[in-house]
Structure 1
Amino acid sequence: MRRKLHPEPPEWQSHIARLEGAYAPSTIRSYYADVQAFVDWCQDNGCSAFPASVETLCRFLESQGEEKAPSTVRRRLYAIRKIHRLLRLPDPTYDEEINLAFRRVWRSHAVRPKQAKGLTRDYLEDFIAGEPDTPWGLRNRAMLSLGYELLARRSELVALKTDDFETRDDGTLRVLIRRSKSDPFGEGRLAFTSQRTARLVEEWLDWRGPHIPWLFCPIYQGKAINRDLETTTVKRLIKTAARRAGLPANEIDAFSGHSMRVGAAQDLLCAGYDTAAIMRAGGWKSVNILARYLEKAEHNVWA
């Protein structure tokens, strides 16, 4: 049974709740989970979490590095920094010893970040063709085609609403992606679709009906449900489509909810578009992140 050696201020959770409306719900959930992990570790190791000492934080980071990926350790460091600021406590996270501890964690994991397999055009065609002629198939065909052409993150795809679309004279769609991970203040970015994608979206909307604001919604017992989808639905539909296409298990496992975004970026590179154009199309702010997505497309550029 865990013995609480250093009582911690119970208000830290209410302070994280202050972030609601200023940060994405997923970010706030991560803050809760990461700070809780730190508080639990401190209780188990007889340390005080608030304010954390540099020594305590170094020990925590190096302990986490033994079992967690460096990206997870970094995220927990950011959460600890945020909660200290919210509690208006001295912030230990910028001390040079913290930087050195984190560098030791990073160097001890000398592996490349795992990259989602790109859902490129060939896969897209097979996946769309394999969807059944059911309401779920109508929705999933539209989601696959739209997610690919918008280079959409899964969170962007499920957040789309019917009002974000405008049909153009040539039968394509003009889409406003209102908010994204790299656009927290909702300036938005514009994207455009092909005629086929516009047609798939229209077929889905004809079945779904006009009474639901979300573009994509759950289906229960053959009826559209008036709420948005979970982001996990995107990953699930991609893997299910890959399974229907008869792909081997290791290939199915390599796909993720980011695969449409990755695959579309790779196809654009192979089609001759430069990095700046691809960054604009997908709303990337960091060329380093995009470069990882494009690495596996390089061998096709000179084919």
Structure 2
Amino acid sequence: MAAEDETLTPSHSGRFPAADNDKDHAKDDGIALPAHVAGSGTLDRLVDTARDYARAAASENTLKAYARDWAHFSRWCRLKGTEPLPPAPQMIGLYLADMAAPRTKIAPLSASTIERRLSGLGWNYAQRGFTLDRKDRHIATVLAGIKRKHARPPVQKEAILREDILAMVATLPFDLRGLRDRAILLLGYAGGLRRSEIVSLDMHKDDTPDSGGWIQIMEQGALLTLNAKTGWREVEIGRGSSDRTCPVHALEQWLHFARIDFGPVFTRTARDGTRALEARLSDKHIARLIKRCVLAAGIRADLPEKDRLTLFSGHSLRAGLASSAEVDERHVQKHLGHASVEMTRRYQRRRDRFRVNLTKAAGL
């Protein structure tokens, strides 16, 4: 039986799409023997091992983004009659300016996207044995001018609040696929999890090479051990007040009927929805699931459908927990794995901003 359709959305929105024969990133990873050392079977195997560890230093999505950044810049250079190596601060400054104010009908990129692409170039140059001096005046002053002229406050995704998540899960059927998607939404919401953290979960430690963590189901709830962006952390998800809204119960239902006791927790299902497959879900499925349920539940029905789809994303689950949990901020900060309470507050879409009134405390 064919698997359910998991149509992928285009991953590259840059000006010059990467050509199939552009393998610079794959060929030149910067890990090799010194020129004066003769190769041998043992050393060659160690080089391969070191390359594997180097690739593991950043997430797969980050490496893909860096590769796209390099491909975009390389094509830009060739169109201008130059080469990307060695780094030329003057040309990089012009590249930044072209992205901010292109002389074509292509829309300019945001200041944050331009800065991210510059970071990608710095990483790529480092892998090729070069140093990109971002403080060089040709780069620093152009970037500072772009940020001063074009920078805008970050656009935050709408939080999915308690009443929203309940309405969303109510739209799901009780077939196998519905059980899976219900567990994804409730677990992601109660855990304040990222999309990548949800789909990378395994049943046990070391079940699969690409695991990003594992779960332990206990009497009082579920303990998630995650290898997240900020390092390893544990997330405790307690049982809810009723089976209808309990994320742990939803998870148990999915695991039982899908007959999953090893490997990825959230997998694809057969097209007819009668059985779970072995293939791990893509994190893109969660983004599509959230948007689909937002529309089905009629959330923010006062807005056109296009605007509603733009407002919500995977991060809406994390923002929803941070905004809805009426506990001390320190508990939310630990739960989300934030290094500072300031980062946690960015996720809180509704809170008592003037609970502490320093104006009155200062005697005014």
TM range (shorter): 0.7 to 0.9
1:3 equivalent in structure 2: none
Does structure 2 retain, via aligned residues, the 8 Å contact 1:146–1:193? Answer: no
In structure 1, give the amino acid aligned to 2:252: E
Question: Is the 2:29–2:128 contact (alpha carbons within 8 Å) kept by the matching residues of 1?
Answer: no
Report the CA distance shift for 1:10/1:156 in structure 2 as closer, same or farther (over 3 A): closer
| Structure 1 residue aligned with 2:322 | 265
Give, in whole Å, the separation in 1 of the partners of 2:217 and 2:64. 36
How far 1:90 sits from its partner (Å)?
4.0
For the aligned residues, what is the CA RMSD?
2.2
Percent identity reads 24
| TM-score normalised to structure 2 length | 0.73
Distance 2:260 2:27 in 1: 39
Over 3 Å counting, the alpha-carbon distance change for 1:102 and 1:301 in structure 2 is: same
**Off by >6 Å, runs of 4+ in structure 1:** none
Structure 1 residue aligned with 2:168:
127
Asked if 2 retains the 8 angstrom alpha-carbon contact of 1:121 and 1:263, the reply is yes
Distance 1:53 1:73 in 2: 17
User: In the alignment, what sits opposite 2:310?
Assistant: 253
2:337 is aligned to 283
Q: Choose 1 or 2 for highest CA Rg.
A: 2
After superposition, residues 55-204 of structure 1 pair within 5 angstroms as 55-66=90-101, 67-163=108-204, 164-170=214-220, 172-177=221-226, 179-183=227-231, 187-195=232-240, 196-204=246-254
Gaps in structure 1 of 5+ consecutive residues: 1-8
Counterpart for residue 44 of structure 1: 79
Q: For structure 1, which segment, 14-23 or 35-44, has the greater mean C-alpha deviation from structure 2 after superposition?
A: 14-23
Mark the CA change 1:287 to 1:273 in structure 2 (over 3 Å): closer, same or farther.
Answer: closer
Distance in 2 of aligned mates of 1:233 and 1:242 = 14
1:234 aligned residue: 286
> What is residue 266 of structure 2 aligned with on the other side?
216
> Partners in 2 of 1:137 and 1:300 — Cα distance?
38
The one-letter code sitting in structure 2 at the alignment partner of 1:103 is A
Alignment partners' CA distance in 1, 2:78 and 2:331: 50
Cα displacement (A) at 1:82: 1.4
What secondary structure is seen at the aligned counterpart in 2 of 1:79?
Answer: helix
Report the Cα distance in structure 2 between the residues aligned to 1:288 and 1:30, rounded to whole angstroms.
27
Output one character per residue of 1:103-146: Cα deviation in whole Å (capped at 9) or x when no partner: 22222224221111111111011111111121111011111110
Instruction: Give the count of matched residue pairs.
Output: 285
User: 2:160, 2:320 within 8 Å by CA — same for their partners in 1?
Assistant: yes
Gaps of 5+ in 2: 1-21, 31-50, 102-107, 205-213, 241-245, 356-364
Output the amino acid matched with 1:182.
T
Letter of the structure 1 residue corresponding to residue 100 of structure 2: G
Q: Any conservation in 2 of the 1:58–1:97 contact (CA below 8 Å)? A: yes
- Answer yes or no: is the 8 Å Cα contact 1:150–1:193 preserved in 2: no
